[in-house]
Structure 1
């Protein structure tokens, strides 16, 4: 009987560790999402925001990132898309039921390399499509003009 209890206890510990690791992964992806996409960004400050958030380069290279979208809303409002303020969209994504103010920063000088990345900002009000995990936004997929 003690052997069975030890096996059950060991299994429970392993399961708990797995759940904690998954939760930590979601938390990290959520924090990355916030740092990359959330905040009141002026369309005239794309260079500064991209630089201060270290978003100017593609991972593992010095090639300038072509585009990045900033969502001008609170984290709670964006997170609500993963619940009652969102609807399924294109398989694994969730779309907002209400439009959001966004600023899209696009690279002006194509083929530029860091530290010479320069961005042009454009402000819009659009619906957004995100990926959610365990009730948290973890990936910005795209903005949506309308749902025709």
Structure 2
């Protein structure tokens, strides 16, 4: 009986790890581009197949973080702080926010306007990995 329980525990841990791994890969695919340019929103979103969840509609806004995955991952540890049920970066990041120009368009006709910003970012972390981009935060120093 103990062996069966241990086996089930190991299996559920493996499934959970695979789930986090898939979410992490999706996060990277949708939000990480070290050398992102404000003029490449259309091309990046098109080539990565980014749309509204479970549809062919163009996503209204997508943010790309101009950093490496290793740097972003540290937000889930020592480089981040609790922010509701998210984690907020302690330092600002260079980001490109791509905003849909032609509302209600469907893929492949999505057209975006890119804007460069420097902001702290809020992400959801699971098992030490970023799995969801929540938003950027305007931060005013006191």
Give me the TM-score of the superposition, normalised by structure 2.
Answer: 0.95
Residue 114 of structure 1: how far off its partner (Å):
1.8
Equivalences for 1:22-101 in 2 at 5 Å?
Answer: 22-39=16-33, 40-55=35-50, 57-90=51-84, 92-101=85-94
User: Unpaired runs of 5+ in structure 1?
Assistant: 1-6
- Mapped partners of 1:140, 1:12: distance in 2: 35
How many residues matched? Answer: 140
- Larger CA deviation: 58-67 vs 16-25: 58-67
| Structure 2: 5+ residue stretches without partners | none
In structure 2, how many angstroms separate the alpha carbons of the residues matched to 1:66 and 1:113? 11
Greater Rg, structure 1 or structure 2?
1
Shift in Å at residue 145 of structure 1?
0.7
Distance 1:59 1:108 in 2: 19
TM-score (norm 1): 0.91
| CA-CA distance at 1:16 after TM superposition | 0.4
